[in-house]
Amino acid sequence: MAGKRSQGRQQVSAGRNTLRIIGGRWRSRRLDFVASEGLRPTTDRVRETLFNWLAGAIRGARCADLFSGSGALGLEALSRGAAHCDFVDTHRASVEAVRRHLRDLRAEDQAACHHCSAGTFLARGSERFDIVFLDPPFGQELVAPAGSFCKTTTG
């Protein structure tokens, strides 16, 4: 049906993908990112649900967006009041696109971008995070190795 919007899907146009920040200070901002094999930004619907769950914890949080790809999760966290986010990805063009977005949003002082694997980044062990986003490419069995570095605490 012409004109019908696809529910929760990211837009694709002329070889470029677009994601939309769905809440916070950058709400409704659209950001382009380079399409690459296996890159599938977390849909609007999933991000909205995730950040509704995190609403009480996100403000002032230190976050890591591992396997960041388009940066959708970390950018959404910053938009909603996270104090800092480290973006980590092995795809150089994705890391550079996130850097451009941070510069355009005037948020460079709230973030750091790392061109390396999640395992390499986490093995450094120099930082503590309140929230870690793990959204790796499908079928590569990357969650368990990265997740093994994460410890949960309560209280």
| Rounded CA separation 34/64 (Å) | 21
Pairing of strands 111-115, 84-89: parallel
| pLDDT tens digit sequence for 5-42 | 333 434 434 445 888 899 999 999 998 877 766 566 67
Domain hosting residue 17, numbered range: 11-147
pTM over 0.85: no
Asked, for residue 153, whether it belongs to a domain, the answer is no
For residue 63, what are the contacts with CB-CB under 8 A and spacing of at least 6?
A: 74, 77, 78, 82, 84, 85, 86, 129, 130, 131, 132, 133
> What CATH number is attached to the domain comprising 58?
3.40.50.150
Asked, for residue 5, whether it belongs to a domain, the answer is no
Q: Which residue type does 137 have?
A: P
| pLDDT tens digit sequence for 45-102 | 888 999 999 999 999 999 999 988 889 999 999 999 999 999 999 989 999 999 999 9
Asked, for residue 1, whether it belongs to a domain, the answer is no
Greater confidence (43 vs 52) lies with 52
Asked, for residue 6, whether it belongs to a domain, the answer is no
Asked, for residue 155, whether it belongs to a domain, the answer is no
* pLDDT (0 to 100) of residue 6: 37
Phi, psi of 77 (to 5 degrees): -60, -45
* pLDDT (0 to 100) of residue 36: 66
Asked, for residue 2, whether it belongs to a domain, the answer is no
| pLDDT tens digit sequence for 103-131 | 999 999 999 999 998 888 988 877 789 99
Asked, for residue 90, whether it belongs to a domain, the answer is yes
For the chain, how many structural domains are there in total?
Answer: 1
